[in-house]
Structure formats: structure tokens, C-alpha cells
Structure 1
Amino acid sequence: MPATTVTMDELHNSMERFWEIEEDNSTPNYSPDETKCEEHFLKWTYRDETARYMVRLPRTDSAIKLCDNEKTALHRFYLLEKRLARDPKLDNRYKEFMKEYIHLGHMTPISERQKGTSGYYLPHHPVVWEDSATTKVRVVFDASCKSQSGISLNDTLLVGPVIQEDLRSIIVRSRMYPIVLIGDIETMYRQVLLHPQDRHLQRIFWRSSPAHPIQSFELNTVTYGTATAPFLATRTLRQLAIDEEQRYPLAAKVACFDFYMDDLYSGANTIEEAQELRRQMEGGFPLRKWASNKVEVLDGVPEENRALQSTIDFDRNQSIKTLGLHWEPGSDCLKYDIHVPSLDGCVLTKRLTLSLISRLFDPLGLLGPVVIIAKMYMQPLWSIKDSDGNSWPWDKELPSSLKNQWQAYHQQLPHLNTLRIERFVGLERQKHVALHFFSDASEGAYGSCVYVRSIDESRGSNYALLFCLQSYTKRLLVQLRYRLQQHFGLIPPP
């Protein structure tokens, strides 16, 4: 699918994520279902004889309506084989991925005793990430496939609460450390075992060649594509921190507050502290792609476990971005990597323009003056009417005035590639830290920015922009200020 093509579902998800960056989720407020999910985790989760965590799928009352979907899954498997046959390179990558799955014991053939028993089958398909430094092809399992009753596995699962902090808070906190430490958990979901009594709900069809008979397998771990997987994985990480806090106090704190899904963004005040943190972190889930602004911190880390990129992407889950935030370990600077799709030969529609806007990824708001232009552009985009007085159609070319306005903005975005922002906002021997908040508004928009003022032992001072906000209410600004003061020790925690 071309970069300039987008479905309504993709557009909805992208726009939802675009606005979620600005939300403040500092106060957990669990719904009844989220509370039930947490209670289920505490009741059924345990560590097996190998010290790996075993979890069960939290189900809803609609679980009894889940019926057979074997024919649908088998039909989609045949379609998958036809697709792989047309692309030998993808076919090889896909088979290597599944071979590893079997080799690691993450999926096993169902036994003779299980044949003929009911279960739920997950159709699967590839997602290709050519920019990834490790896995180029990921197999995605579709737990939203409807069964004969019209109910899918995901319809019967409790999603669970979000228990990790938002990305902006994590990155902001990492900017306060003179030494930064970054890594990610290797195949995070598959580090968590699924109880054998639930594995019949994670069956798949597979064979390595059309010449072989089709086999049924069961997935033995938490699986990407199931609605409850993010909660089970992140909650297990937090449980590991709770269980190992006495042995690994530094790692336990970081595991609770400095992970965004499987990505670690943390730091320390000294090289020795960073080395000890890395050592303790290696006592839990296996981590890889280690990176730091100080090479000494990575002493003893094998080359294959180090980040190979010259920059670290803070938004690794996005395969297509217009604007992405990166960190350069060598210069210890933040930068923006701009890859704008060409609009030559494209019909600029409302659908396409909103898709491009939703790809602007700026969690720290450092490009607020740039991003706010796109946000303000959305106002006339929604208000324009066609000749009959109806809302402008999604796939009709925009009026010349709006089209020219967007093209001028779109063409200037790559100039941001030259921008470099120092990651560390303080002084190495700082004795005093103060936060300075500024707010202002115009007829078109309003926003705020936060500066850090640091003073060291020699009374030298430094000012640095920490992050910016746009379209925030005063109430949310006060909440964020309070949280920052807590993070940086300017006021005692509650």
C-alpha cells in the first residue's frame, strides 16, 4: 500500500494516537472491568520452576458465546500461502520467524489427545519493518477474527488498565540524568508463559511447505494481537519488580517507572551507578539494543546486544512517520528525522491530509510552533462545505486555497532535520534545580513551555527547554507542574 493511501480504520487509530500524546494520565482511575482484570492477575499469576511467570487470560461474561472459527482461519491460511508464494523473500523471512517460534518452544503441535477438541484459531499475517535493526518481519496474530457466533477472542477478553507512565513523562525524566541508559526487552510478550488451560484459545494453522500436511499448533506465551497482551506483559514486568525489589532495588524502581512497553529510557548520575543499574536490569527479562552516551557504561555488553543504529527512535512501533523524535548517542542530542512522502501525482484530500497530520510525533512539544500550524489547519478542514452545503467528502480534492497552504507547509518540514537539541538539561554537579513555567495565548492557539534552571557548586547556571505544551487547559498545566516537581524532588511525594 503506498504511503499516501490510508484506510478509515488506520486514520481513526492514527488520529486517536495523535491526540493521546497530549493527554495527562497521572491519576489511575480503574473501571470495574480494569479492577476485575487486576484482581484476576493477582489470583492466577505465579512463577514456575524455571522462575518464568505463568498467566491466564482474563475473560468476560461473553466468553461462553465464543464458537468455532476453524474454517475461517483455514481459509485465511490458504490466502497467506498464496501471498507468500508471490514473494520469495517474504516467504523465507516468515518461515524463519515461525521456525524460531517452534525452536524456542513458544508454540507446539497439539497432541493426538487434543485433536478434535474445540478451540479458537488465530489467523496470522506478516508485518514488514525494513527500518528495524533486528526483526524485519513480525507475525501478527488476529484475535479479532469472528467465530460462528459473531464473537471473537478479543471480544471475550478484559483489556486491563494502562499501568505504565506516558512516553512524555519518561523521556522528560531521562533528560534530567547526565548519563542515559537505553535498551529494550527481547520479545517481551513471549517472555510470559500462558497457562496450559488457556492455550486452546491460541491455536494456529501452519506448515513450512504446501507439500506438507497442515498442522495445528498452540501458542504457549502471551501473544501479540490479543487485546489483553499489553496489560499482561507490562503487569508481569511490574510484578517482577515487586518480587525482586530486595535483590535489585535500582532495577525495581526503573522497571516500574522508566519503561514504555518494552523500551527502557532511564539514566544515572554517575558511570558507576549506570553500570550497576545495567547489571541489575540484566537479572530480569533479557534486554538487548543497549545504548548510552558514555561507552564505559556498556563495558561487558556483547556487540550483538548493543544498539547498532547511530540514532535511537523513540517511536519504534510506527512503521511510517512524517516526523519522528530520535536520540543520537554519540552527540547526546535529540533530533527529528523527517521523511515526508512525495505528493507528486497525489490528489490531496481531507483523508490524506489528516493522515499526514496524525503522523507528527512530538511528545516533548519541542516543535510546538511547527505542529500547532497543522492543528490549526484542521479547523478549516472540518468546516469547509461542498456546493450542496454538505461536509466536504473524504476523497474529493481540496479547494486550491487549502491545498496550496498544506503543500507549502509540507515542503518545509524536512528543514527540521538540521535541528539538534541537547538531551541533558542540567549540570553534572548541580546543587539546585528550579522549574520555570511560561504560558501565553493568541486568537488562534495557546500553549506553555517549561524551562529547567540548574546551579552547580561554583554557582554557574544553565537554562534549558524541557518541554512545551499546546492546547492545554490551566488545570492540566497545574497537574503537570505538580508531577514534575515530584519527579525532580522539588516537593515530597504524597
Structure 2
Amino acid sequence: MVSQQQFPHVSSGGTVYYGFPNHDASAENTYIYQQQPFAADPSNTLPSLQRAPQPQAVTLNDLVQALSVSKKDPLPEWKLAQYDASSHSWISAKLVKCLNLSGSDLDLTVNGNNTTTVVKTKQVQMKVSSNFDGFEYIFGLTAFVKDELKVGTDTVNIPALQSKYPYLAPIKPIVYSYADVDLIIGQDSFHAIRPEEYFKSEADPNTSPVAVRVPIGWVLSGPMPTSTGFLSSCFKCNTDDTELGCQIKRWYEIESYGAYKQVDSRSAEDKMAAKILDSSTVHDGSRYTVGMLWAEESIMLPDNYYSSLVQLKSLEKRLAKDPHLRDQYSKTIEDDLSKGYVIQVPPHNFSNRSICEWYLPHHPVVNPNKPGKVRRVLNGASKFHGTSLNKSLLVGPDLLQNLVFVLLRFRQHHFAVSADIEGMFLQVGVLPEDQSSLRFLWLEDPTADVVVHQYTRHIFGARDSPTCANYALQRTAIDNQAMFPDAASAVLEKFYMDDYLDSFEDPDVAFKMSQELITLLALGGFKLTKFISNVTKINKELNPPQSAPQQETFLRARVKTSLETQVAFVFGKARVTPMKALSIPKLELQAALLATRLKEDVLKALTIPVSNTFMWTDSTTVLQWFNSGSKQPMFVANRIGEILESTTVYQRFHVLSGDNPADTGTRRISAESLKTSSWVSGPSLL
């Protein structure tokens, strides 16, 4: 028997209570209560304490728990619940409004009771922490919004249950109703509600309630009572359609570059990832080590060892059919071992595995354009029991430079230089506590035992690797800016991922900058290689002899005299008309707005001085709107206002339609004809 005094958290107060569940499509909740310490009756002794050997040992049908959702001001009382039958988390519109949360609109497919419903909702993110004394558990929660969470109408009387079952003392004695639930925690946040230990009745273990300790506090579990206030249901949310929608949205954001004004819209996930990057990154004397961007602070991955073993056997069958491919593939592993990218670790131990241990499937990829070269690809998206490594990671904030800006700067001057960072991801270390998530199995000898390898560097295939590698590259520049100010600026402005693109007016300056970049990046563990330039000295001296490229890769002509005017194409953009019909004048106004935004971006990207800018339109109606002092319709007024912010009357002119090169982009034209059109050469009036 274990006395209550042996568990100080039992009598220190808290707010955890259990209700017998039954939820509808939006099932999952939890409430916040102001906690008052309560004293358990010391005369009551607790039955045997039993630790759950597996998460399935105790089924939490439903849970109501005191939690805090991050906000500076004091919160009113909210109720939260956990529902096993819901695959995702939900939040009421009332709580979203109170917390001032925002999210993007989406259509979500909800499956349940042999029915499929499309629900219009939003997806919001928040931080949640336990208010239960002694349970300092904080985690990020992503939830879908619903007007009302119709969980049920029943009331649960915890004091009455505790009078009958004294071992329920750790649970706060309170009476609550399911009608007040505003947040539902689903199985997508199982790490916060997984059973760790429990108290149960030894006399009647099958039908009596159970006090269960989970990471966020003590909860009440047990068989569901017969009640008219609940509807038995089980629901699953299909988020694949929302992920596809996000991918399409990202594609359109690229396609519609310049058509919309850009704003800073960092999500809660990006801010969380940025915090991990700032707090975990260290320099070990030769390179940077960056922590993996886990989506939750306490991650627990299922044991996929045997699943990975099956995939290894499938790979073995493929390689057995091609001995030459097997030899090449085996050599890639040997090379990574010799370079320290990979280490061999002890065999898999089920009883002593790390909670974030994960085995990555892998396979060879051959590029027909690069005969003889085999690349080993690890599949971070491979799922096991509904989860994957990539699903447990954040993508992180977008640290890439604007590609348009990089290309514009690259085209500025006569002498061009490009280079590449060798194996960029593999030059950035992984924290030792994260490395067990990057394991893979290999069988060098079919007659020997399976060997477990583990990456010590970030891999190509994990969704957080681009952000981690880019962050390490930028930290290299920032931390050494005092010694190499020009090279550090080039790293921050002239790199797109691992590719360096720059141009110079002087070939000597180009060579010196290239040398400085090699030295600077080496301080961060990066190796800059594969230089290509129309500066002969760079090709000869900065490239290994076997990989020196042909000279004069970039050829450009320029008349170096101030007496002759030179016209060069810088940037062009064409868009299709929207599905919703607009009048011709409004479309012409849209074109003028697009030109204004592109002009601002070009001026921001270029490093050469620009003394003045001028803009032309073939629409007399748009020019009249510019010069009109009368009130305009909202559509016109908003766009005219933005254009007038960055242009003056002395910069806006009229051009005849026949001389307007922008018209070329709206008509059918062959690629060959486009080369000699005014779209490229510019109008004759220039």
C-alpha cells in the first residue's frame, strides 16, 4: 500500500476532473479554472500504485483539465477536454475571439458514423500549459475552429465520486458540465495526455473509475455511464486536403509575385522554430550544431524498427539484382562513415529505446545526366502508425533570400561569379539528443547481422534541414562580420540556399571577394566550390584542376562611355485576368499597380545607384484617375492611393498602345519572336 503523503503533488492542489464522454464532430475539450489548494483526507489510504506499461493500458475516454492558453492578460474560466475518438483538436469560436487568435480559412473533411461532412473552419495555433501544481508541461497546440463544441449536457460530480472512491483524491473535487467545453485536445496531441501511472480499485477494477496521471495532470477515467446527454460517436479529420490546399497556395504565391503587397506573416510555428534555432545553435570549434525543429516540446515517436527492417529487405532484393549498384551504394555509406557524417550505434533495444528514436527508410537514386553517381536518399515522410519524422518536425521560418532579388543583382555588372557549397546539409551538426531520430539500417554482408547507423549531421529528406542549414550559414556571416564585412554581406544577400550568385565591375574585386568567401565559410564548416566565372583567374586558381570549367561562361557586351544611352531589360511580369470579370479600365489600373510594386522591388534589389524612375501607361482613364481630385469607388481609390505613395505626377506618362511593350506579354507570341520584341529590347521612345 502507498500512503498519500508519499506523493506531495497530490495534496498541493490542482484542477483535474473527469467526465464520461460522448462528443460530436468537433469533440475535444479542456477548461481553465482558477485553482484553490485542496487538502485530501489523510485518513484515506490509496490502493496500489501501478505504472502503465503501454499507452493502451488505460483508455482515457474523456478528460477535463485546468490548463493555461498563453496570453498576457488574466483569462476568464475556460473548460478543456480530451477526447480519444477525435483525431484532431478543436476550439470554440468564443475562445478564439477571447485569445485574439487568427488563422486561415479552409474546408475540412470530417468522417464519422459512416458520414462525410465538409466543414468550413480555420486552423489556429496556441501555447498550452498545465495549471496543475507540480505539472510544468507546456506544448504547442494546433486546433480547428468551430462555432460550438457540442460535447454533451451531462454534469459530473467529482466530490460524490471521491466520497465513494477515496483513491480519487489527486483529482480536484469540482462539479462541471460538458455544455461549457471550449477546447478539445485530440489524438494529434497524444504526448500531452498519454497515461503514465494510475490508481485503481483492487476490489472492482473493471467497472470502477480510475485516477490517471498524464503529463498535464491527474484525470479521471473509467467506463462510460448510460446517459441521454451524450451521443456515442467517433470522428476523424482528413487534413490531407488542407495540406494540398497549402501547397497550391504556396505555388500561387510564387506565380503571383509582385501582384500582391507582401506583409510579415510569421506563424506561431515559425516563431517557435526561430526560438529553437536561437537557443540550440552552438559552434563546436569547427562547425555549427543546430537542434532539430520539433513541433512539440516533448516528442514521442513510435517504434518503427521492424517496419524499417521490412523496407531494408525490400532494398536488399533490389540491390541483389544489380551488384554494381550495390557496390556504389555501399560506398556512399562508407564515405559518410569516414567523413563522420554517420556513426555506427548499438543494435536496437526495445526495452531501452529513446522516445524520439526513429529509423529512416532509404534507397538509391541515379541521375541519368550524371552517370556513375549514386545518391542515397532518406525518406523522412515515410509513415508508421499514422506519423512520420517530417510530421513531427516544423518547417521553420523561410530564411531564403528573395530569388528575384538574387538574380537581379547577379545581372547588374559585367563580371559574374557563381559557386556552390559542397554538401551543405551535411556540414551542419545535429544535437546529440536529437541524433537517435536519424537512424537507418544497413546490411553490408547478407550473412551478417543488421547494422544500425545514425546521422550526426542534418540530412537531405528531413523537412527542417533547409532551415537549419540556412540558419547555420547566416550565423557564420553574422558571427564573423567584423573580420569579413563585405563577404558577410554577400552571404546574407547573394546566396540562394547553397548557390552563390554575384557580379562585379572589377575582376580583381571579384577574385578577392571569392577568396574571402572561401575563408569566411570555412569558419562555419562550409566548403565553397565549383566556381564558374568569366574571370579567368577565378576558374584557374579557385577550382581543383579536374573540375575547372571552361572560360567565358558568361559573356556580356557593354559600351563604357557616358555619351551613349544603353537600354537593358530588367524585369517583366504578365498575369491572366481574374475569373471575376473586371472592366478594361480596372484591369489597366491593376497593371499600373503591378508595375509600381515591381518598380519598388527592383530598386530594393539593385545595388547600383538609380537617379530617377519613370512609368508609362497606355490608359488615359488611369491617368485621369491619377489627376482627379474627386472621390473614387473603393476599388479604384485603394489602388490609386498605393500608386501615389511611391510616384509623383512627374514620373507618370502616357504611351501609345502600339509602342507599349507590356502588351506583348498579353498576346500569343513564339519564344523566337519574343527575343527580338520590344518586351526584351524596350520601346523605341527610350
What's the TM-score bracket when you normalise by the shorter of the two chains?
A: 0.5 to 0.7
Select which of 467, 474, 478 maps to 1:231: 467
How far does residue 239 in structure 1 lie from its aligned partner after superposition?
Answer: 1.0
**Higher relative contact order at CA 8 Å, sep ≥6: structure 1 or structure 2?**
1
Which among 607, 610, 623 is matched to residue 490 of structure 1?
A: 610
Would you say the 8 A contact 2:365–2:376 is kept in 1? Answer: yes
Q: How does 1:157-168 map to 2 (within 5 A)?
A: 157-168=393-404
Q: Say whether residues 1:267 and 2:503 are aligned partners.
A: yes
Q: Is the 8 A contact 2:289 2:430 kept in 1?
A: yes
Aligned length: 345
User: Do structure 1's residue 468 and structure 2's residue 572 form an aligned pair?
Assistant: yes
1:23 to 254, 257, 280: 257
d(CA) in 2 for partners of 1:480, 1:240: 32
1:291 pairs with 532, 536, 541, which one?
532
* Aligned counterpart, 2:375: 138
Q: Which residue of 2 aligns with 1:96?
A: 331
Matches within 5 A, 1:67-106: 67-106=302-341
Over 3 Å counting, the alpha-carbon distance change for 1:110 and 1:177 in structure 2 is same
Does residue 332 of structure 1 match 2:573?
Answer: no
Distance in structure 2 (CA, Å) of the matches to 1:47 and 1:268: 32
Shift of 1:127: 2.0
d(CA) in 2 for partners of 1:53 and 1:476? 41
Match of 2:282 in 1: 46
Gap regions ≥5 residues in structure 1: 1-8, 311-328, 334-421, 430-455
Deviation of the 1:306 alpha carbon: 4.3
Select 1:128's aligned residue among 356, 366, 369.
366
CA root-mean-square deviation: 3.2
The separation in 2 between residues aligned to 1:491 and 1:17, in whole angstroms, is 35
Deviation string 1:332-369 (CA, Å, 9 cap, x unpaired) is 25xxxxxxxxxxxxxxxxxxxxxxxxxxxxxxxxxxxx
1:26 to partner: Cα distance: 6.0
Q: Which amino acid aligns with 2:299?
A: I
Deviation at 1:28, TM superposition (A): 4.3
| 1:368-392, Cα deviation, whole Å (9 max, x unpaired) | xxxxxxxxxxxxxxxxxxxxxxxxx
* 1:144 aligned partner, one-letter code: A
Asked whether the 8 Å contact 2:406–2:605 carries over to 1, the reply is: no
Cα separation, 1, equivalents of 2:337 and 2:307? 23
8 Å CA contact 1:164–1:256 kept in 2: the answer is no
Name the aligned partner's letter for residue 84 of structure 1. Answer: L
TM-score (norm 1): 0.63
Corresponding residue number in structure 2 for 1:276: 512
1:246 to 478, 482, 506: 482
Residue in structure 1 matching 2:440, options 176, 199, 204: 204
SS of the residue corresponding to residue 151 of structure 1 reads: coil
Whether the 8 Å contact between 1:80 and 1:125 is mirrored in structure 2 is: yes
Offset of 1:63 from its aligned partner?
A: 5.6
Gaps of 5+ in 2: 1-242, 577-589, 613-645, 647-686
Kept after mapping to 2: 8 A contact 1:73/1:121: yes
Shift of 1:296: 2.0
Q: Give the 3-state SS of the residue equivalent to 1:181 in structure 2.
A: strand
Aligned residues of 1:164 and 1:257 also touching (Cα < 8 A): no
Q: Matched residues in 1 for 2:247 and 2:316: separation?
A: 28
Equivalent residue, structure 2, for 1:6: none
SS of the equivalent of 1:226 reads coil
With structure 2 as the length reference, what TM-score do the two structures score? 0.46
Q: In the alignment, which residue of structure 2 is the partner of 1:181?
A: 417
Contact 1:288 1:306 in 2 (8 A): no
Name the CA distance, whole Å, in 2 between partners of 1:468 and 1:89.
49
Matches within 5 A, 1:360-379: none
Structure 1's 212 and 23: CA in aligned 2 closer, same or farther, altered over 3 A? farther
- Structure 1 pair 59/243, CA: closer, same or farther in 2 (3 Å)? same
> Does the 8 A contact of 2:531 with 2:538 survive in 1?
no
Distance 1:53 1:62 in 2: 22
CA distance in 1, matches of 2:420, 2:434: 28
* 1:125 and 1:141 in contact (8 A); partners too: yes
Deviation (angstroms), 1:282: 0.5
Residue 49 of structure 1: how far off its partner (Å): 2.8
Of 48, 60, 69, the residue aligned with 2:295 is 60
Summarize deviations over 1:176-199 as a string: whole Å, max 9, x none: 021111110000000100011100
Do the aligned partners of 1:196 and 1:220 also contact (CA within 8 Å) in 2? yes
In structure 1, give the amino acid aligned to 2:597: Q
Residue in structure 2 matched with residue 402 of structure 1 by the alignment: none
Q: Deviations over 1:305-344 (max 9, x none)?
A: 7454x6xxxxxxxxxxxxxxxxxx62525xxxxxxxxxxx
| Corresponding residue number in structure 1 for 2:541 | 300
- Residues 440-455 of structure 1 aligned to structure 2 (within 5 Å): none
- Tell me if 1:147 matches 2:265: no
Change (3 A) 1:15 1:37: closer
Structure 1 residues 178 and 305, CA gap change in structure 2 (3 angstroms)? farther
Match of 1:156 in 2: 392
Q: Tell me the distance in 2 between the aligned counterparts of 1:188 and 1:68.
A: 30
| One-letter amino acid of the counterpart of residue 481, structure 2 | E
Q: 1:31 to 1:92 in 2, by over 3 A?
A: same
SS at match of 1:288: strand
Aligned-pair distance for 1:219? 0.4
